[in-house]
Amino acid sequence: MKSNIRISIVGAGRVANILGKAWSHAGVEIVEIYSRNSDKANKLAEILKAKVATDIGNMATNIDAVAVLVSDDAIEAVATRLPKEVARFHSSGITDEAVMGGENGVLWPIKSLNEESATDSLSGVPFGVNANTDSLKTILENLVLAVDGSSFDAPKEVRSKVHLAAVFTDNFANHCLALSQQILEESGLPPDLMKPLAEGMARGANKGTSYSRQTGVALRRDIGSQEKHLLLLSHFNDAESLTDFYKYLSKHISDNHET
């Protein structure tokens, strides 16, 4: 399907690759790619059938917007070097789009864009959208529609809270799952033993019932079982931090639930 949207991309890393390919596949024209890493820029430009820009200050302006898909810390420095007349947007959940100056906005996918998910469809993924002009907001909403996503209004005050919730939902929960897999691996056990538990946790998240479905020794204040767990943890790699982490989470659970 051909889209009438024309954008350029600054950045050639993981996010630029995933979003760029999704937009290109949806018919969005990618006009130029700019990156400090010329090898990555050339590779992505070839895939997206785009030109390689060698000077960010002279990038094409006869487009709808420039997607600034770089690390959060680099957004301001990079975006302020763009031609003043071109609209620009980033994909960060926590960075204020106003730091980019000019006509600016944000299009933030609530999805971990990692190597494992690189080929996943973006269909149904919610995108937080905001812009300081109606015209740019419409462009961003159309970019979401192009990949069959859904958009919601996300001014910085809303977006920062959603981003915080996302850190607990994905980053922290995933870290706990990684620790679980480490324990199983060091015990010579397969990771799929936890599959029913992980799927149940996901169902609770989807239904909004995570608090009420909490179970376990911390909830029951089963001190004897917790002491046995701590003894087991003392034999694993990184035992001290694991036991501290276990104690902290257990206390937080018991403090936040009535028996």
173 & 228 share domain: yes
How far is Cα 79 from Cα 64, in angstroms, rounded to an integer? 15
Amino acid residing at 131: A
**Residue 52 pLDDT class (50, 70, 90 cuts):** very high
50 & 133 share domain: yes
41 & 134 share domain: yes
Tens-place pLDDT, residues 23-51:
999 999 999 999 999 999 999 999 999 99
DSSP string, 158-202: HHHHHHHHHIIIIIIHHHHHHHHHHHHHHTT--GGGGHHHHHHHH
Query: Which of 137, 153, 169 is where one domain is finished?
Result: 153
Query: Which of 153, 170, 189 is where one domain is finished?
Result: 153
Query: Which of 134, 153, 172 is where one domain is finished?
Result: 153
With contact defined as beta carbons under 8 Å apart, do 59 and 81 qualify?
Answer: no
84 & 45 share domain: yes
b/e per residue 151-174 (b: at least 16 CB within 10 A):
beebebeebeebbeebeeeeeebe
The verdict on residue 74 lying in a domain is: yes
148 & 166 share domain: no
188 & 215 share domain: yes
**pLDDT at residue 115 greater than cutoff 80:** no
How far is Cα 226 from Cα 218, in angstroms, rounded to an integer? 7
**Domain span including residue 214:** 160-255
Tokens 């998240």 found at: 205
The verdict on residue 96 lying in a domain is: yes
What's the pLDDT at 76? 96
Q: Residue 217 is part of a domain; what is its CATH number?
A: 1.10.1040.20
46 & 94 share domain: yes
**CA quadruple 88, 91, 93, 98: dihedral, nearest 10:** -10
Token pair of 70 as six digits: 């770089």
The verdict on residue 202 lying in a domain is: yes
How far is Cα 82 from Cα 231, in angstroms, rounded to an integer? 57
The verdict on residue 140 lying in a domain is: yes
134 & 182 share domain: no
The verdict on residue 18 lying in a domain is: yes
Tens-place pLDDT, residues 60-102:
999 999 999 999 999 999 999 999 999 999 999 999 999 999 9
- What letter does residue 48 receive in the DSSP assignment? H
**pLDDT at residue 116 greater than cutoff 80:** no
pTM for this prediction: 0.85
Phi, psi for 68 (deg, rounded to 5): -95, 90
10 & 104 share domain: yes
Please, what is the Cα angle at 133 between 130 and 139, to 5 degrees?
Answer: 65
For 231-241, what is the mean pLDDT? 90
With contact defined as beta carbons under 8 Å apart, do 54 and 29 qualify?
Answer: no
105 & 39 share domain: yes
**Residue 55 pLDDT class (50, 70, 90 cuts):** very high
The verdict on residue 1 lying in a domain is: no
107 & 231 share domain: no
42 & 128 share domain: yes
Q: How many domains does the chain have?
A: 2
Token pair of 66 as six digits: 């420039």
Tens-place pLDDT, residues 119-170:
678 999 999 999 999 999 999 999 999 999 999 999 999 999 999 999 999 9
**pLDDT at residue 238 greater than cutoff 90:** no
**Residue 113 pLDDT class (50, 70, 90 cuts):** confident
Give start and end residues of each alpha helix (H) in the chain. 14-25, 38-48, 75-79, 134-146, 156-166, 173-186, 195-207, 217-220, 223-233, 239-255
Q: Residue 131 is part of a domain; what is its CATH number?
A: 3.40.50.720
For 217-235, what is the mean pLDDT? 93
